[in-house]
Each structure stands twice: as C-alpha cells, then as structure tokens.
Homo-oligomer: A and B are copies of this chain.
Amino acid sequence: MGKNLTSRADDYSKWYNELVVKADLAENSAVRGCMVIKPYGYAIWEKMQAELDRMFKETGHQNAYFPLFVPKSLFEAEEKNAEGFAKECAVVTHYRLQNDPDNPGKLRVDPEAKLEEELVVRPTSEAIIWNTYKGWIQSYRDLPILINQWANVVRWEMRTRLFLRTAEFLWQEGHTAHETRSEALAEAQLMNQVYAKFAENFMAIPVIQGVKTESERFAGAEETYCIEALMQDGKALQAGTSHFLGQNFAKAFDVKFTNNEGKLDYVWATSWGVSTRLVGALIMTHSDDKGLVLPPNLAPIQVVIVPIHKTDEQLKQIGEVAKDLMSQLRAKGISCKYDDRTTQRPGAKFAQYELQGVPLRIAIGPKDLENKTVELARRDTLSKENVFMDGLSSKIDNLLVEIQDSLFDKALEFRNTHITKVDTFEEFKEVLNIKTGFISAHWDGTAATEDKIKEITKATIRCVPLDQEKEAGKCVFTGNPSTGRVLFAKAY
C-alpha cells in the first residue's frame, strides 16, 4: 500500500492528501469543505481529547456546553471579533422545509418559515458565552469562571484541506473570566504552556511558544499566545492559541462585577483552543514515504501481532502465545491487537500497519514457537530484531518510551537546524526558498513592513518568541531599528 503513496520529495502536499485517505483517517464529504473523520482518525483525536481533558481538569477547568447558534445581534456586539469572522459565517435563515409544489417528492425551504433574526453557526463562541456569563457574574465571589467546551465550529473557508483547514472542525474552546488583568494574563499564559506540554510530551512535536503580532492576533484579543511547530517541508503550523481578551467582551456584553472593595469593574477574559488540525500536524511531523508514523502516546494501536502460519494447528498454537502476550501487555496499559484474519496474507497486513503507523509489530511463526522468540519491528526506524519471548512485555514497555522520545528528538533536531538567523533580505528570500523553515530576523515592529514582506515572500511572522533575547538590530526589510529577532516562516 505504501508503494502507491507519492513520496514526500516528489510532492509533499500530494503525499499528505493521499496519506490521510489511504491510512483511513478521513475523507472529503458531500458537503463542500467538510470532512468525514473515519474511525482510525477519530481514535487519534479521542486520545488527544482524553489527555487534554485531563490536563484541563488538573488545572481547575470544568466542561460545559453552549448553543451552536449565535443570534446575529449578539454576534456583532464585539465589533473586531465580528469583523474578523463575518466573511466566513454559515447563516441559518429558515426553520422549516416543505414539499416543493413544482417538484413532486422534493423539498424546498418554506418561505413562511423565515427567522426574525438570522442565526450564525458559531465560528467561535465568545459572543454566546459572554452573553451567558453576564447572568452568572455579579460579585468577585462568582469569579474566576474556568470553563471549557468540546464542540464543532464552522468557518466557511474557501480553500480547504483534510484536518488542516476544513469548513467544519472539532475543537475545544476554553473561556475564562477573572477579577484582574494579571490573573487573566496568567491564565492565558498557563494554557499556552499546557498546549506546549501536550504537543511535546504526547504528540512528540517540539513547539516554540510566542506571541502573535497585531496583524496575526485573534480578532478581539489584546494578546495572542501561540505554539508554533515546524512541518517536514519547512512550513510552520500554528498548533494552538491562547488569547488574553482584556475587557473587550465584558464591555461588549456589559459584564461587570463588584470587587471585594465594593467597586464595580468589567470582568477580564481569556479564551484558548486547539482543534482537529492537530491531527494534520501529527501526520506532517513524523510520517514517512511508507505511511503514518504515530508516537506511541497517541497511537490507537501500539502493538500489533501478526501470525505467520501454514496450518490451522500452527495458527492455534500462535494464537495461544499471542493471547498470553496480549494479557501481559494490557496489564501494563499497552493497547494491542491480534490480527488473525485469514482473508489477508501476512505481507498485506505488514503493509497495512506500516501505512497506519502502528509503532511496534510482532510477527510469530512456527520457528518462533520452537525457539521461544518473536520478530519485533519498529515502525519509526523500520528496524527488525528477533527477541526472546521471555521478558518481552517489559522490553516493549521500554521500547514504546524510547520510540516516543526518539520521535521527539528527531523532530527537535530537524526544527533546530531549520531556524536560520538572517540579516539581509536577499538572504531572507534565499533561505525561505531553498533551506525553508523558520527565519530569525529583525523587524521594525510595523504592520506595514510585515504586510510587504508577506506580499513579496508569502512568509508571515509566526511569533515573537517568549524567550526572545533583547538585541539591538536593524529591520531585515527597512533597515529601521529593532530590539529583537522575530520568527518568520511560510505557514499552513
């Protein structure tokens, strides 16, 4: 199966699109820009959800659920936010269909069932949530509110790609309310750190934490924190954002509270989210020309066992050994599968699990039964070894950790060698086009320069890194003074 996959070198974009479909992760649907997430792809998302949900709860957040629809009058209340999303809103205008008198058996929108006020399908939920918080907050005793929502959102994007950019996507959105500016800022920073930790420890994706420039900021935010990752083709991908919203939404929805000195003030806000886009990032960070490579912490199946047999008796004996091994692995919390389908040959099974990125594959044949061994193959390195059955579950347990670490190290090495300091615009363009990756360069701090660079090179400022060193320099484009380097890249 991997044989039919376009290679990354030939066409990275085609490789990605083919891999998503061939590995059974997702496919396009009959609805423009909306995807079907297939069971194997959804299982990866479920693993992400479980871990993120645990991290959110550990940091004091609770889940809740708010309506899918936002009445237009609420949607437009926070003007910058509304302006930012207005151009990509799906709008519900009617609430009923009726038989089409001109086409028997067909339906049409019932013109009598027009809504008095149109409903926007949420592209994000600040508006509906802050309109709700207004009823929940009177005093500082009602604060903080630390809520997260798992939901679908819709943004009518014109150019879509499976997982990376779809009209409907699944995400979580945290929405918190605080007494003070500093508390809200600390929350926005904390959640960005949670995202960074998740990306690095679970997805094995090294990320750079930073803040967005004004032009790249979330519509309605005062500061947008982000984690930026680098894909194998040298393009950056924004993997998560956490916004300090100031008092913008509190002012738009008139949400005030009495502080502990009896004074009225507007509430301070944050919001933060990651989406099914992360599945795209996962694929593009680790996978190879043979298919997916999944980090063990997010692999739906961590170990697959394939029997190699000629006779039914052999299959029965291998089955017993496999069953015993599986119960040992499961006792260690390792997810495993025994594939004893007789409709497929071992070679086809090997190719399938390679394509689907199962971290470890075990093959057991008649010789192995005699020698008390198995063949153990690693997906990431494609290496194989014969190992003794004795102590195998512990070996596997350690190996899964080793693979997880090794994938991270490999991605980190790639990322680190793809951050290039440049001081001239010629060099900027050359690195961008030939070496690719992040470019660390001085910038004069103006949106005008940022726009011009984008126009000429398609590169944007991915972030001002949180660990930016103060360093006097000259803007790579205008030569005007700068106080530190920022990271540019072409991005997904």
Q: Which residues of A contact B (CB under 8 A)?
A: 27, 29-31, 34-39, 42-43, 45-46, 62-72, 74-76, 79, 82, 86-99, 105-107, 109, 118-121, 128, 131-132, 135, 141, 147, 151-152, 154, 156, 168, 170, 343
> Known: A29-B66, A42-B64, A67-B29. Is A93-B93 also a contact (CB below 8 A)?
yes
Report the minimum CB–CB distance from A44 to chain B (whole Å).
11
A402 to B64, CA, bound (A): 30
Report the minimum CB–CB distance from A421 to chain B (whole Å).
42
CB–CB B106/A76 < 8 A: yes
What are 17 A-B contacts defined by CB distance under 8 Å?
A27-B132, A27-B135, A29-B66, A31-B70, A36-B64, A36-B65, A37-B64, A38-B64, A39-B147, A42-B62, A43-B62, A82-B107, A86-B99, A87-B96, A87-B98, A92-B93, A109-B118
Residues of B within 8 A of A168 (CB): 67-69
A105 to B80, CA, bound (A): 10
Residues of B within 8 A of A152 (CB): 68, 151-152
Apart from the given pairs A29-B128, A68-B154, A141-B343, 13 other A-B contacts in the complex at a CB distance below 8 Å? A29-B66, A30-B128, A30-B132, A34-B67, A38-B64, A39-B63, A42-B63, A42-B64, A45-B65, A75-B97, A82-B107, A91-B95, A91-B109
A239 to B102, CA, bound (A): 40
A94 to B92, CA, bound (A): 7
CB–CB A87/B97 < 8 A: yes
Report the minimum CB–CB distance from A440 to chain B (whole Å).
38
CB–CB B65/A31 < 8 A: no
> Known: A43-B63, A68-B168, A69-B31. Is A97-B86 also a contact (CB below 8 A)?
yes
Residues of B within 8 A of A135 (CB): 27
Report the minimum CB–CB distance from A159 to chain B (whole Å).
14
> Known: A76-B105, A154-B68. Is A89-B96 also a contact (CB below 8 A)?
yes
CB–CB B65/A128 < 8 A: no
> Known: A105-B79, A128-B31. Is A156-B65 also a contact (CB below 8 A)?
no
Which 4 A-B residue pairs are closest in the complex by CB-CB distance? A39-B62, A34-B67, A37-B65, A86-B97
Please tell me which one of the listed residues B30, B94, B141 contacts residue A74 in the complex, with CB atoms under 8 A apart: B30
Chain B residue with minimal CB distance to A100?
B76
Please tell me which one of the listed residues B39, B76, B86, B94 contacts residue A91 in the complex, with CB atoms under 8 A apart: B94
Report the minimum CB–CB distance from A407 to chain B (whole Å).
25
CB–CB B91/A93 < 8 A: yes
CB–CB A46/B63 < 8 A: yes
Report the minimum CB–CB distance from A301 to chain B (whole Å).
12
Please tell me which one of the listed residues B30, B67, B76, B109 contacts residue A36 in the complex, with CB atoms under 8 A apart: B67
Residues of B within 8 A of A71 (CB): 30-31
Chain B residue with minimal CB distance to A34?
B67
Residues of B within 8 A of A95 (CB): 88-91, 156
Residues of B within 8 A of A107 (CB): 72, 75-76, 82, 86
Report the minimum CB–CB distance from A259 to chain B (whole Å).
15
A128 to B109, CA, bound (A): 19
Residues of B within 8 A of A86 (CB): 96-99, 107
Please tell me which one of the listed residues B29, B89, B94 contacts residue A97 in the complex, with CB atoms under 8 A apart: B89
A36 to B67, CA, bound (A): 6
Report the minimum CB–CB distance from A254 to chain B (whole Å).
14
Chain B residue with minimal CB distance to A74?
B30
